[in-house]
Amino acid sequence: MPGHTLHDTTATGYRRSDTSILVSITVLLFLFGLSPWLTRLEAAFGLQWLFHGRGAIIPPDSAVIVAIDGAGAARMGLPTAVDRWPRARHAELIRALQARGAASIAFDIAFTESREPNQDRALAQAIKDAGNIVLFKYLQRPQPDPITVAGQAVTVLDIERELPPIAVLGREAAAIATFTLPKIPVRVDRAVLFTELSAGLEVTLPVAALAVYLRPYLPRLLEVLEPALPAATRNAMNAQQPQAYMLALRRYLAAHGDGAVERYLRERATATERPYLRALVGAANQPDAAYINFYGPKRSLPTIDYDTVLKDPAAANVSGKAVFVGLVETRQTEQWDVYNTVFSQPNGVDISGVEIAATVFANLLHEQTLKPLPPLVNALLVVSIALLLYRFMTQLPVRYALAAQGLLLAAYAWLAAYLFTHLQWWLPLAAPLGLLLFANLAAVSSRYRRSRREQARITEALEHYLPSEAARQLGGDVRRLQEQRRLVEGICLLTDIQGYTAVAETLPPHDLHRVMNRYYSQLMQTVKREDGRVANIVGDSLLALWTVDALQRSCCEKACRAALSIRETFQQSKIEGVALPTSIGIHGGAFSLGNLGAMDHYEYSPVGDIVNATARLETLNRQLGTQILLTESIAQKIIANPTTDLIIRYLGHFKVKNKSQPLVVHELVGLRERAGGATGELINRFGEALSIYEMGDKQRALNAFKMVLSRFPDDGPSRYYRTVCEEYVA
C-alpha cells in the first residue's frame, strides 16, 4: 500500500520462537538422557522388548542347579520345608557332587539354627572335605510396628539382621555370602553383587561362588598383575580368602582403573587362562548392582533334582562346573523364594532365587552381564534420534517423513537387538519409540507454526491490497475464491479527485505515482481512523466500506466524519505543491462482499446497486458544485439523532444515469461547532427556494434561487437550480 514497506517481523518472531523451543526441547531431552528416569523407563519397557525379541537362548553349561521341590521331597520321604531335612542328606549330596568333580557348590539354603549335633558335624565334615562350599547368610529385615511420639505414629528405623550359618558349618565353608532380591519393583532385572553390611562391604553369593570356582586362578591373577599392584593390595589378595581377594581387587580397580590390568592380561596371561582371569577382573569391576542377562524361563539352566543326585550320582553331569543348590518349585501353588522376571510364565510360574544366583554367576564367568550405555552416550543418542525424527517430519512431505522415520527406527531396533543378543549391549529402545510420538508432535507444532507464519506473511502482504478480513480469508484458503463472498449491510464511500486529468497531464508518471501514493496514504489513514476499510483503488478513486449487521447511526456518522476529514485535509494542504480537491459520495444499504473475477484474476470488491448509486452520487458533485453528497438512507440516520453535530442540507431528487428511480440527495455541509450563522441562513433560504421548486412554480423558484445567490454567490446547488429554472421558464 502507498507509503508502506513490507517487513517480515512476524516471521522473524516465529523463527526465533521455533529456535528457542527446539533448543529448550534439546536441553530437556539431554538432561532426561542423563537422568535415572531414562534407565527406569528402559528397564520397565525397552529391556523387556529386547529379551522377548531375542527369546530364550542356550545358557552356558558351567553352572548346574540341584533343584529342591515338593515332589522330590515326597520321593525321599522328607517334609516340604527344607530347613527340617536331616543335614546328613546335605552331607551326602556334597560327597556325591564332589565324587562327580563339581568345581564349587553354593547352597541357597539358610543353616541358621543348630540341629542334631551328629547331623551338624556330618555336614561340617563334608563341607571341610570338599573345600569349595559357599554357604548362604540370611538377612532378616523385621518390620517393627510404629510407635507413638507426641501423639503421632512414627516408624522405627528398619534394621537388617544378619543370620549367618551356625559356627560349626561356617568355619568349614570356603565362603559365606548373602543374596537378596527385591520384591519391589515387581519385576527383578538387577542383582546386588556388592553390599554394605555391618562388617563393611561384602560380596554376594554369585561373586563368592565365582571366586571359589576360579580359586585355582587366584594366585595366577596375582602373579600376572604383580607389576601393577601396590604391596598392600598384593597382601590383601589372599587366595585362601576368596571374598577378601575380590574386595581388594575391587578397591584397586576403583582407585586405578583397569587400563594397566588389561595390558598385563594381554601381555602376561596365556590364551587359555585369560578368559578366567578376565572374568575375575570383570566381576570385581562391576557396579554394586548389575543387570541380569536372563537365559530363559524356569529350568533354562541345566537342572537336576536333588533326589536324583542321591539315587544316581552318575546322572549328575557336574564335572568342572559350579553347582547351586536351592528351591526350584514348578508348581505355582507351592512356589516359594520366587521372583517375577521378564521370563515369568503366564501360568504364574516364576524363576527361583537360586536360579537367578546361578544366572548371575554364569553372566560373570562368561562376561555376559548386560552393559547399559554410559549416561552421556545415552543422552547424546536420545537427542540425536529425536532430532533426526524431528528433521524428517519438518523437512519432508508427511508420507516420506513417516517412511523415513519407520526405516530409521527399524534399523535402530535391529541394531539394538543385534548388539543385545551378541554383545549384551543395552541400547535404549522404549525412549526412541516414545520420541517418535514426541518428535512428531513437535514437528506438527512446528509445521503448524510455519503454516501460521506463512499465512501471516501472506496476510500481511495482502493487507496492503485488500481489507484485513479479506486478506485473512485469502491467506487461510486461496482455493474456491469465487465462493468467498457474503451479503452484508453497510456504507460505501467513494472519492474522486476533481481535475485529476489536468494533474496527470502536467506531472511526469514517476512524480504522479509518488504524489498519488501520498494522497492515498492520507485517505486510508482517515478511513481506518473511523473504523472503515479500503475496498479498492481505481485510478484516482478510492472505495471505502463500513460493514455492519444492520445500518446504524454510529456507522453513518463515522463515514461522514471521515468524509469531512478528507475534505478538510485537501482543502488546507497540497501534496508536493499539487492541489487535489476531492469529491465524495456516500450511500448505504445491502451489497455482496467478496472475490470478483475469474480464471487467474480476482479482486475483493463489493457488488450491488449500492456501489453504482454511490458512483453516480459522487459524479453528481460536479453538477451541483458540492464536495460531499449523501443519499436519503444515510441522511435519515443522521437527522434522527437530535444531538448530532453534523450539518446536512437536503438537495432534492435527482435522476441519475442507469437508475430507474431518482436519488434523494443531501449534502454534508460540515460540523456545527465550525459553522457560522451564515451556514444556517443559507440552508434555510435554500430550503425555502427548493420547496417552491418542488411545488412546480419554476418562476417563483427562479426568483428565490436568485435571492439566495445574491447573498451566497458561490453556492453550487443554488446555481444549479437557477440554471434549471431558467431553462424551464425560457
| Whether 246 contacts 283, CB under 8 Å | yes
Q: What share of the chain in percent tops pLDDT 90?
A: 55
Residue 518 cell numbers, joined: 501520498
For the CA atoms of the chain, what is the radius of gyration?
50
**The pLDDT of residue 348 is above 80:** no
Query: Taking every pair of C-alpha atoms in the chain, what is the biggest distance, in angstroms?
Result: 157
Range ranked top by mean pLDDT from 11-25, 458-472, 668-682, 705-719? 705-719
Taking the C-alpha atoms of residue 633 and residue 689, their distance in angstroms, rounded to an integer, is 23
| Whether 470 contacts 596, CB under 8 Å | no
Q: Are residues 401 and 360 in the same domain?
A: no
Residue 448 cell numbers, joined: 503448524
User: What confidence category does residue 681 fall into, taking pLDDT thresholds of 50, 70 and 90?
Assistant: very high
**The pLDDT of residue 595 is above 70:** no
Whole-structure pTM value: 0.65
Q: Give the pLDDT of residue 17.
A: 60
| Whether 28 contacts 463, CB under 8 Å | no
- Residue 711 domain-assigned? no
Among 401, 441, 446, 386, residue whose Cα is nearest residue 15: 446
| Whether 154 contacts 148, CB under 8 Å | yes
**The pLDDT of residue 6 is above 50:** no
Q: Give the pLDDT of residue 664.
A: 94
Q: Give the pLDDT of residue 149.
A: 42
| Whether 625 contacts 615, CB under 8 Å | no
Q: Are residues 96 and 180 in the same domain?
A: yes
Q: Give the HSE-up count for residue 172: Cα atoms under 13 Å, Cβ half-sphere.
A: 17
Q: Give the pLDDT of residue 622.
A: 92
CB contact set of 599 (below 8 Å; sequence gap of 6+): none
Q: Are residues 451 and 498 in the same domain?
A: no
User: What confidence category does residue 302 fall into, taking pLDDT thresholds of 50, 70 and 90?
Assistant: very high
- Residue 344 domain-assigned? yes
**The pLDDT of residue 594 is above 70:** no
Q: Are residues 21 and 71 in the same domain?
A: no
- Residue 559 domain-assigned? yes
Q: Which of 365, 380, 397 is the last residue of a domain?
A: 365
Q: Are residues 173 and 299 in the same domain?
A: yes
What sign does the CA torsion over 368, 374, 380, 383 have?
Answer: positive
Q: Are residues 495 and 361 in the same domain?
A: no
CATH code, domain with 512: 3.30.70.1230
Q: Are residues 82 and 191 in the same domain?
A: yes
Q: Give per-residue pLDDT as tens, 72-118.
A: 999 999 998 888 899 999 999 999 999 999 999 999 999 999 989 99
**The pLDDT of residue 180 is above 60:** yes
Q: Give the pLDDT of residue 183.
A: 61
Cis before 662 (ω within 30): no
Q: Give per-residue pLDDT as tens, 459-498.
A: 666 566 555 665 566 555 555 445 556 677 889 999 999 9
Q: Give the pLDDT of residue 440.
A: 75
**The pLDDT of residue 146 is above 70:** no
Its domain, for residue 103, covers: 63-143+151-215+290-365
Collect contacts of 437-445 with beta carbons under 8 A, ≥24 apart. Answer: 438/386, 439/386, 439/389, 439/390, 439/393, 439/405, 440/389, 440/393, 440/405, 442/21, 442/22, 442/25, 442/390, 443/389, 443/390, 443/393, 443/394, 443/401, 444/393
Q: Give the pLDDT of residue 35.
A: 86
- Residue 270 domain-assigned? no
| Whether 395 contacts 388, CB under 8 Å | no
Q: How much is the mean pLDDT over the chain?
A: 86
User: What confidence category does residue 185 fall into, taking pLDDT thresholds of 50, 70 and 90?
Assistant: low
Mean pLDDT of the region 132-137: 96
Q: Give the pLDDT of residue 156.
A: 41
**The pLDDT of residue 616 is above 80:** yes
Q: Are residues 186 and 37 in the same domain?
A: no
- Partners of 596 in the β-ladder: 603
Q: Give the pLDDT of residue 465.
A: 56
Residue 298 cell numbers, joined: 524356569
Residue 499 cell numbers, joined: 481535475
Q: Give the pLDDT of residue 154.
A: 42
- Residue 263 domain-assigned? no
- Residue 16 domain-assigned? yes
Work out the number of other CB atoms within 10 angstroms of the CB of residue 427.
23
When mean pLDDT is compared across 188-192, 222-226, 421-425, 595-599, the lowest value belongs to 595-599
User: What confidence category does residue 158 fall into, taking pLDDT thresholds of 50, 70 and 90?
Assistant: very low
Q: Give per-residue pLDDT as tens, 519-541.
A: 999 999 999 999 998 888 888 89
Cell numbers 515332589 correspond to 71
Q: Are residues 389 and 304 in the same domain?
A: no
Q: Give per-residue pLDDT as tens, 627-676.
A: 999 999 999 999 988 889 999 999 999 988 877 889 999 999 999 888 88
E strands along 188-280, which residues? Answer: 190-192, 194-197, 200-203
Q: Are residues 30 and 165 in the same domain?
A: no
Q: Are residues 618 and 507 in the same domain?
A: yes
Q: Give the pLDDT of residue 485.
A: 60
Q: Which of 310, 330, 365 is the last residue of a domain?
A: 365
Taking the C-alpha atoms of residue 450 and residue 390, their distance in angstroms, rounded to an integer, is 14
- Residue 426 domain-assigned? yes
User: What confidence category does residue 335 fall into, taking pLDDT thresholds of 50, 70 and 90?
Assistant: low
Q: At what angle do helices 677-695 and 698-711 cross, to 10 degrees?
A: 170
Q: Are residues 377 and 358 in the same domain?
A: no
Q: Give the pLDDT of residue 3.
A: 41
E strands along 215-321, which residues? Answer: 289-291, 303-305
What's the structural domain count of the chain? 3
Q: Give per-residue pLDDT as tens, 382-427.
A: 888 888 887 887 788 888 888 988 899 899 999 999 999 999 999 9
- Residue 254 domain-assigned? no
